[in-house]
Structure 1
Amino acid sequence: MSNIYSSPTGPRLAGLHDKFFVGPPPSSSQPNDEDTDMPTYFSGSEKTEVATYVQEFISSRGNEYFCEIDEDYLTDRFNLTGLNTEVQHYQYALDLVTDVFDMEVDDDMRESIEKSARHLYGLVHARYVVTTRGLAKMMEKYKQGVFGKCPRVICESQHLLPMGQHDQPGMSNVKLYCAKCEDLYNPKSSRHNSIDGAYFGSSFHNILFQVYPGLMPQKTQRRYEPRIYGFRVHASAALMRWQEERREEMKDRLRSRGLETGFEDEDEDDDDLESEEDEARAQEDGIDDMFEGPGIQMQTTCQHIGGYLNDRDLCTYRLVCQSTHNAIDADGCSFWRRRFLTTFEKPTWTTSNNVKYRQTYHKRRRALIYGANFWVAITKSTGKDYAKEIRRGTRCLEVLRDMTIDSFSEKKESDLAYESKNLRLIYKFIQNYDLLDVVMATDHKKEKDLLCLPKQLLCTIWSLLAPAMLSLDFEHAPTLGFPDSQQVVYGTTADHPIFGGCNGLDINMEWVVHHLNFWKYHMVRSEENTLYHAFKHLSPNETPQFWNRQLELGGSKLGRYWKGSYAYVERGEVTMIRAGEGHEDTIQDLFNGEMDIGSFQDMQLTWLDEAAGLATWPKLFEKHLHSLRRPENKARTRAQHRSSSTIPDAISNLKPQNFQFLAEGHDTTEDFLAQGWLNALPAQHGVPGWQRMTMMKYFEDADTGVIETDALWAYEGVVLPGGQIILGRWWCPSDGTGEWMYSGPFILWCVDRSEDAGGC
C-alpha cells in the first residue's frame, strides 16, 4: 500500500497498518533538502516512536500559538458536536487528526483533506482552550511569553494572549490581547498573522483571567502626555482632562456597587500625586507668568527658543499659540534675518528688507531638504511625473547658483582656516541627490516638448561642481555619453567653439561639461587603465579643489603651482573621432604621461607686470592666440545708417583686464616653457569669476636660446570661477587649420606646494 505524505507545511499522512512507519521530523527547524522530498523509513522491529498528527502539527513553524489537544478530548464525539457541518470531508479529516486515516487518494484529494484537518483542529482547539486542561496549558505558554510582549512602552513588556474577535471562522485573523492596556495588536510574524481568530475564540482570554486572577496585571494611571518643547498640547490636554473625569466617575460607580476598580491603590500614592499636582501647578504658573509678562520679554524668549530648533520643529513651534507665531513672523521678520545669517553666509544683495531674508531662507531650505529627482527631470522617464521634478530641479539649480555666489562672503584676508557654510551645504546636497549621476544624460521622451530643465544653468552648475565630479568621493557616479564627449573635445574650433555670443564672450557651457565628462571618464573610473591609478595616488592637496574665496567680476591672478594632463590620438584617428566612429568602436586616448607611467604634468607660473608683458609677447604667438584682441560686437540691427562699413565695432564700454604669465614645466621626459594671458570675462548665467586663458607652449634651442617655431603648441581654455581649474583645447599651429587642425583636450588644476602659492 502506498503512503500519503503531506505538503511541506502540513503533517504527513500514513496508514497505521503499513509495513514501514514515517520517522519523527528533524530537530532543526530547517530540514535538509533530501528530508523535504523523501521520508525516512524505519522497519517495525526498530521500536521507533511514531509522531502523531497532533505532535507534528504543534511542532510545525507558525503553530506555536496552539496547545496540544488531549487524545481523549479529540475522540469524544460530544466535543465535536456540530463540526461536521463546518468542515469539508469531516470524517476523513477526523481520521487524519486521530491517526486512523488509511486510504489511497490522489494529490488533489490529499491536499483538500489536509486543509480540512487543519481547520478541524483549529475549531476543536477553540473549545479545548476553555477547559481546565486547556487553560492550564495556555497559562504555561502565557507565562513563558510564547505569544509575545506588548509593544506599548508604558506596559513594560506585558505578556500577550491570542484571541479572536469573532467566533465564526473566516471573519478575522488572530489578535494579541494585552491585559494591562486592554488593547489589541497584530502578531509580528506573517505566519501567525494568517491564523484564523476563531481557533481561539472571543472569550478565552477573559476566562483565563477569571480562572487565574493572580495573572491579571495591575493597571496604571500613567499615560503619555503630548508636549511641544515643554508646553502641553492644548487640545490633547483638554481631552485628557475629560478622560480623567470620566474615569473617576466610573471608578466611583464601581465602588458604590462593591466592585474593585482594577487600578493600583491610589491611597498609597496620595502624597506623590499631590506633590506632582503641586509641581504641575507651579510649572503652569511659571508658563502663564512668562506669557502674561511684558511683550518684549515674551517675544525675546520665544525667539530664543526658536533659534535652537531645526526647521521641522520650528514650523510646529510657530503653531503652538499666537505668541510664538508673532515672535517668529510678526516682528518685521527679524527672526528670519538672524536665522538666515546663522545658516548661510551673508548674501550679495544690499536690501534691508527682512521679508526677502525669510523668502530666500524658505526657498533654500526647501530645495536643500527635498531636493529633486534629476534623473527623471532630465530623461523624462515614462510613468513618472517629470513635470514636478523639473520644477523642483529648476528651484534647486537656482538655489545652488545663489549659494555659490554668496559663498566665502564673510571670509577675511587673514582668516586662513575659514570654512564656507554655503559650500558645506552644497557638498552635502550633491551627496544626497543624483545631480552628479546624470551628467550627459539624454532625454528619453520621444515627443520633444518645451518643458525641461534650463540647460545652460544646469551646465553652469555642473561646471562649478567640477572638483566633486573629479573626486574619488564620487567614484560611484556613472559616466554617461563618453563617445559624445570624446567627439566634442577633439572637435575643431568651427564645430565646437569655446566662446560665442554676439561679442565672443559667452562660454559654451555644454563644451565645458563635455570636457569634464571626458576627464572624469579617465581619471575617476577604476575600469579605465589610463589615469585612474596615477590620480588615485595623488595626495589630497594635489587633487582639484573648490574655490576658496568669494567669486567676483573681473580678472585675477591665479596660483603658482599647477598639475595637469593633455590627451591625444594619432592624426588619422582624430578624423575618425570627428566623424563619429568612436560611437561604434572605442578609440583609445593617449596622454602626456604614457611614457612616464601615467604621471601628470607639472607647471609653475610667474606673473608679469602689464608693461613688461607686452614687451615680451611675441607677435607670432598673438597671431595664433589673439590674446590681446578687444571683444567685438557682432550684433547687427536693421536700422539704416550712412556708414556701410562691415567691420565689427569694438565694445567701447568693456574695460579689458589682462594678466600675463610665464610658465615652465616638465612634460614626460623633457622640460618646456610657455607664455600666456588671462582675460576677464563677464558673468555667465549670473555667476561671476570666469576667465579666458591662452598660452603658447614652446621649446628653446639649447645653444642659442631661440624659440623653435616648428614645435609650437597653442592652448586656449576656460578658467572656472575661483581660479582652481582650467579646461581647454590644444592644437598645433603648424599642422593644419580649420577642419584639418590637429587638436585635443587639456586640463590643469592648482595645487598647494608652498605657503606662498598665490591664489591657491
Structure 2
Amino acid sequence: MAYLNRPSSSTAFNKLPIELNKEIAHYLESDEDICNFRLICQATHDAIDGDNGSFWRAIYRETYAYVAASSNDFLKKDYQCRRKYLNWGVIHGFSKHGNDRVEVKVIQVIKSLILDSYQGQHGHDEFDRPRCPNQEQLTKFICDSKNFLGIKPQSSSSKPNLALIAVQIMCAQLMFEGDDLTYDIIAFDISQRAVYASMKHAPMFVGPGKSMVNMEWTLHCLNFFRHHMVKEEVQSLFHLMSQLEPGDKPSAWREPLRNGCYPLSRNWKGTYAYLEAEELTRIRKTAKGGRRNQKADDYLYMDKNVESDGQIQLSWPQSLESRLNSLRETMPPKQSKAQHRGAASRVRDQSIRLSGHGLDADDDFFASGWLNPLIPQYGIPGWQRVTFMKHFVNDLDNVLNDDLWAYEGVVLPGGRMMFGRWWYASIDPADPHYGDNSGPFMLWAVDSDPNLEVVSDYDN
C-alpha cells in the first residue's frame, strides 16, 4: 500500500512543466479528483503542493472570498477544513440538532463563510446584483444537504442550539429564489402558530437586558412569509412575487457584516398578515397545547405600503415611547451609571431615527421610530432592533393617540430584510390586553423606486 501511494517518476506528466500540470488540476471537478491527480506522479504532486503552495491560493480564490494577506499554507488548510466539514454536513446531516461535536464544527465552518463574505473582490449575478462566492458555496450546501434548513424542532425537554438557528436564519436569506429551494424550513403550521403568539409569550428580544434576538421566533417568521412567497400551490404571494423585477425580490446581504447601528437602504417593500380576533384566540390556545382546530389555520394577507419623502420629521413623543420602549438600552453602556447622562441620551447617541409617510384607505399616515444596535448574536455581528409607530396627526402635527399601530422587529445582518410583530397600540400599555391584537410583518430592501420606503435622518 505504501508503494501505491508513492508518486511515480516515470509517467507522462513528469514531462510537462509544472504550470501545465497546475492548469490541468484546475479543470478537475472534485476534491477527490484533485487528490487522485496529486498521487499520479512526482510532477502532479509538485503541481498541487509544490511551488510554495500557489495552487491552493488559486483554487481558494476560485471558491471563496479571498483575503490577500493570508499565507498559502493557511489558505490550503482553510480550504481543506471547509471542504471536509461541509461534505460531512451534506452526507450525514444533523441528526443531533447541531449539538454533536462534529455538527458544531460544521456550524462553525458555515459561520466562517458568513463572516468572511465580501472580503476582497466579489462578482455579480446575471441580474447585476452583488454576489459573493461564499454565498454561492452556502447555497450549494443548502441544496445538497439532507436537512440543514429542514431540521425538525426539538422536543420541549431539550434546548435548541441557538447558534445553529442563527446561521440558519443567515442562510435562509439565500432561499427566496430557485426551484431547488421551495421546501419549508419548518412545517408551516408550526410556524403559523408561532408567529401569532402574543408578545407576552413570545417576545421579540430575550435574555439579560433583552439584548438577544428571539432566534426561534425570527426563523418561524421568515419561514412563514417565505412559504407564501415561493409556493405556487398556496395561491397567496407567489404570483405577486413572480411579477417583481429581480432587484425587487428579497435578497441576502451584499456587503461585509458590521457591528453597531448603520443606515438602511432607502427603498423597501413589505407585507404583513393578520387573523380575526376569534381566530387569534383559537390559534393561541392551540399553540399552548390545546386541541387543534382547523379554523385556527385560516389567515388573511394584506400588503402594507409606506412611502417616505422626508417631508416631515416628528419629535419622539412620550406617548409613543411608552408603547414601543424604543429608547431602552440594547447595548452595554459605554459609560458607567454614575455618569450624569441618562440611558435615553446614550441610546440616542448610538441609534438612528426613522420617519415615513404614506396613504392608508386614502388617509395620510406617518411612521416614526428608531433603529437600535444589538450585540453580536452567537458570533454574528450586524443585527439591529427596529421599532416604529404607524400614526396619524392633526392640523397642528400632534399625534392622534386613538389609531396607533406599533411595529417591533429585527433587522437581519446586512440590512436587507427585517421580520417582526405589529400590534394595535391605542389602548393603555398598562391594560392586560395591550398587544393582544397582533401579527407578523416582513420588510425587504429593493433596488427600484418602491411602494414602501424607510428613510433615516442619518447623513451618509
- TM-score (normalizing by structure 2): 0.78
SS at match of 2:79: helix
Q: Residues 438-471 of structure 1: CA distance to partner in whole angstroms, max 9, x if unpaired?
A: 15x1358x9x889xxx721221122113344444
Counterparts in 2 of 1:685 and 1:324: CA distance versus 1, 3 Å: same
How far apart are the structure 1 equivalents of 2:115 and 2:232? Answer: 34
Corresponding position: 1:314 with 2:34 = yes
The unaligned stretches of length 5 or more in structure 2 are 1-6
How far apart are the structure 1 equivalents of 2:387 and 2:330? Answer: 15
Query: Aligned to 2:358, which of 644, 651, 665?
Result: 665
Q: Retained in 2: the 8 A contact 1:404–1:422?
A: yes
Structure 1 partner of 2:3:
none
Counterparts in 2 of 1:413 and 1:361: CA distance versus 1, 3 Å: closer
Structure 1 partner of 2:420:
728
SS at match of 1:359: helix
Q: Residues 202-226 of structure 1: CA distance to partner in whole angstroms, max 9, x if unpaired?
A: xxxxxxxxxxxxxxxxxxxxxxxxx
Q: Residues 352-388 of structure 1: CA distance to partner in whole angstroms, max 9, x if unpaired?
A: 4433222210122234455425766257xxxxxx99x
Query: Aligned to 2:293, which of 564, 570, 584?
Result: 584
Structure 2 partner of 1:712:
404
Alignment of 1:583-622 (within 5 A): 583-591=292-300, 593=302, 600-605=303-308, 616-622=315-321
Alignment of 1:481-496 (within 5 A): 481-496=187-202
Q: Retained in 1: the 8 A contact 2:206–2:212?
A: yes
SS at match of 1:710: strand
TM superposition shift of 1:300: 5.5
Counterparts in 2 of 1:475 and 1:324: CA distance versus 1, 3 Å: closer
Amino acid at match of 1:577: I
How far apart are the structure 2 equivalents of 1:434 and 1:512? Answer: 23
SS at match of 1:564: strand
TM superposition shift of 1:566: 1.7
Question: Which 10-residue stretch deviates more, 358-367 or 507-516?
Answer: 358-367
TM superposition shift of 1:633: 6.3
Corresponding position: 1:752 with 2:447 = yes
Counterparts in 2 of 1:331 and 1:423: CA distance versus 1, 3 Å: same
Query: Aligned to 2:392, which of 669, 677, 699?
Result: 699
Amino acid at match of 1:571: A
How far apart are the structure 1 equivalents of 2:251 and 2:270? Answer: 13
Q: Residues 527-565 of structure 1: CA distance to partner in whole angstroms, max 9, x if unpaired?
A: 434434433443433321122222112222112222212
SS at match of 1:513: helix
Q: Retained in 1: the 8 A contact 2:331–2:373?
A: no
Counterparts in 2 of 1:490 and 1:395: CA distance versus 1, 3 Å: same
- What is the number of residues matched between the two proteins? 433
Counterparts in 2 of 1:526 and 1:667: CA distance versus 1, 3 Å: farther
Alignment of 1:339-738 (within 5 A): 339-347=59-67, 352-369=70-87, 371-372=89-90, 377=95, 393-411=103-121, 418-435=130-147, 438=150, 441-443=152-154, 455-471=161-177, 473-474=179-180, 476-478=182-184, 480-580=186-286, 581=290, 583-591=292-300, 593=302, 600-605=303-308, 616-631=315-330, 657-667=350-360, 670-701=363-394, 705-735=397-427, 737=429
How far apart are the structure 2 equivalents of 1:413 and 1:366? Answer: 25
TM superposition shift of 1:314: 1.9
Amino acid at match of 1:604: E
TM superposition shift of 1:652: 12
Amino acid at match of 1:719: V
Counterparts in 2 of 1:546 and 1:667: CA distance versus 1, 3 Å: farther
Q: Retained in 1: the 8 A contact 2:268–2:443?
A: yes
- TM-score (normalizing by structure 1): 0.50
SS at match of 2:255: coil
**Identity %, equivalent residues:** 33
Counterparts in 2 of 1:375 and 1:467: CA distance versus 1, 3 Å: same
Q: Retained in 2: the 8 A contact 1:569–1:588?
A: no
How far apart are the structure 1 equivalents of 2:327 and 2:347? Answer: 13
How far apart are the structure 1 equivalents of 2:33 and 2:119? Answer: 29
TM superposition shift of 1:234: 5.3
Counterparts in 2 of 1:469 and 1:591: CA distance versus 1, 3 Å: farther
How far apart are the structure 1 equivalents of 2:188 and 2:216? Answer: 14
TM superposition shift of 1:437: 5.6
SS at match of 1:685: coil
How far apart are the structure 1 equivalents of 2:121 and 2:269? Answer: 27
Alignment of 1:39-118 (within 5 A): none
Question: Which 10-residue stretch deviates more, 686-695 or 419-428?
Answer: 419-428
Counterparts in 2 of 1:622 and 1:342: CA distance versus 1, 3 Å: same
Counterparts in 2 of 1:656 and 1:630: CA distance versus 1, 3 Å: farther
How far apart are the structure 2 equivalents of 1:736 and 1:572? Answer: 22
Q: Retained in 1: the 8 A contact 2:356–2:455?
A: no
Q: Retained in 2: the 8 A contact 1:484–1:583?
A: no
Q: Could you say which structure has the higher helix fraction?
A: 1
TM superposition shift of 1:513: 0.6
Q: Retained in 2: the 8 A contact 1:374–1:438?
A: no
Counterparts in 2 of 1:557 and 1:627: CA distance versus 1, 3 Å: same
Q: Retained in 2: the 8 A contact 1:632–1:650?
A: no
Amino acid at match of 2:225: W
SS at match of 1:410: coil
Q: Residues 263-309 of structure 1: CA distance to partner in whole angstroms, max 9, x if unpaired?
A: xxxxxxxxxxxxxxxxxxxx96x955x6xxxxxxx655654554444
TM superposition shift of 1:601: 2.4
How far apart are the structure 2 equivalents of 1:308 and 1:470? Answer: 31
Q: Residues 644-688 of structure 1: CA distance to partner in whole angstroms, max 9, x if unpaired?
A: x9xxx9799999631112112344665431012111222212222
| Bigger Rg over Cα | 1
The alignment's C-alpha RMSD in Å is: 4.2
Q: Retained in 1: the 8 A contact 2:117–2:134?
A: yes
Q: Retained in 2: the 8 A contact 1:565–1:591?
A: no
Q: Retained in 1: the 8 A contact 2:328–2:347?
A: no
How far apart are the structure 2 equivalents of 1:505 and 1:607? Answer: 30
How far apart are the structure 2 equivalents of 1:330 and 1:653? Answer: 56
Counterparts in 2 of 1:618 and 1:736: CA distance versus 1, 3 Å: closer
Counterparts in 2 of 1:316 and 1:426: CA distance versus 1, 3 Å: same
Q: Retained in 2: the 8 A contact 1:502–1:633?
A: no
TM superposition shift of 1:748: 0.9
TM superposition shift of 1:693: 0.5
